Structure 1
């Protein structure tokens, strides 16, 4: 029996676009896909040098790499990015919506501008990129959209209400869009990591990190590479029956 959504392309001929690809998790995702020779598009907004560093590591693994800058909140910039990818023959078969913005603070102190900024990057950016790139996937009846969410989108976090709400929205978006696109051979899933050893935790003191690790049954933080491995698995052709899922690699912290 033929599987719905099988691609006629070998995986090495596929292209993956990673938004926020210059950061810790984004960079690890890019390198994981580059390790099998896929075409890599690394999106960034301001971190030009960091994106180039990731690109160099991917090139060393034998991948074809393109770096692109765009504001995740600006449809016009994202459309111009899509035009560049199309002219380069690198429209994505796999879209990893990884770009995100954290926010810490009591809800009473959150300004409307801060709220809108977090929602625009984390939720609106996921919407815009999915809407812009999914027609190509639908046209070829194959594609993968993988949204990088957060454990706080599942359980909520005190002093991170805006961030938690935005990631909760990403999770609901994932489940709903998966139902729309499943008949077209396109899967939509979310990866919702727990605490990951990246620069996002740089605001924590050493003692705070130690206490955090003690809360996690696995006794440690996740590595970016562990998150990247799950993203890669969900992108594989043989993962085509997994869709609409929010999977949280968190060491048993939230179950």
Structure 2
């Protein structure tokens, strides 16, 4: 098993890409701590699936934009399950509207959850990884960081910043034994894409070479590659399972 004996912390882990990744990691031997935001029923179900795979699960409601709350959760996870070996920095939100209609509060919320939340959650687990001389941090960006999107200016900007953060941290972390990479998924069947209008969804699908949205499990497979022993030569990379939406 590729992650036997490891402990993974997954933000936004109760559903969607986070849930699929938590289950993929557990299936390969990792114990899982995951957070969500007021999603207790679904989180209990996800934890039950992890335990059914024979692995330990811990979950809490945490707003990752609250730095103190994120650090407290990381500390609790380490106490309960052991040192965190893998961080899957996934929590995210979006508010779709025209550029000129965004308020300062909406802008701040999107950037705080995505960029600040990821930055300081990584900071919460990083020192212990450095002390052990090993660890893995995977930050979830988006194909919108690569191509932009209508009605998603703050989201696209935050996701692009995550890619820059990933590269910068990789320069510092790699010599200390901590691998840092990112994933920029394309359109995937999640709660975020479910909020699209049927017309927008169909237009998006029609423009994709594969002719469909992705499945969370397909992104989880990329996360497993980066987290496991086969991902050792990826440094500061952004892998983009996107169905051909962006080719580069």
Is residue 11 from structure 1 mapped to residue 11 from structure 2 by the alignment? no
Check conservation: 1:78, 1:129, Cα contact below 8 A.
yes
2:223 equivalent to 1:223: no
The alignment status of 1:210 with 2:202, answered yes or no, reads yes
The answer to whether the Cα contact below 8 Å between 1:82 and 1:91 also exists between their aligned partners in 2 is: no
Per-residue displacement from partner, 1:107-152 (whole Å, max 9, x unpaired)?
1100000000000000000001011101111111111100111000
Deviation per CA, 1:200-237: give whole Å up to 9, x if none. Answer: 11222334322211100011111000000000110012
Aligned partners of 1:39 and 1:90 also within 8 Å: no
**How far does residue 91 in structure 1 lie from its aligned partner after superposition?**
2.8
Q: CA 1:41–1:161 in structure 2 vs 1: closer, same or farther (change >3 Å)?
A: same
Query: Equivalents in 2 of 1:226, 1:86: separation in Å?
Result: 28
Among candidates 170, 173, 197, match of residue 181 of structure 1? 173
Structure 1 residue 37: Cα displacement: 2.3
Question: Counterparts of 1:22-61 in structure 2 under 5 Å?
Answer: 22-61=14-53
TM-score normalised to structure 1 length: 0.93
> Which deviations, in whole Å up to 9, do the C-alpha atoms of 1:12-55 show, x marking residues without a partner?
11000000001211110011011122111111121111111111
Map 1:56-135 to 2 at 5 A.
56-135=48-127
Give yes or no for contact 1:193–1:248 (8 Å, CA) kept in 2: yes
If the length of structure 2 is used for normalisation, what is the TM-score? 0.96
Q: Aligned residue pairs: how many?
A: 247
**2:192 counterpart of 1:200:** yes
Provide the rounded CA distance (Å) in 2 between the counterparts of 1:79 and 1:221: 34
Quick check: 202-211 or 53-62, which moved more? 202-211
Give the unaligned 5+ runs of structure 2.
none
Structure 1 unaligned segments of length 5 or more: list them.
1-9
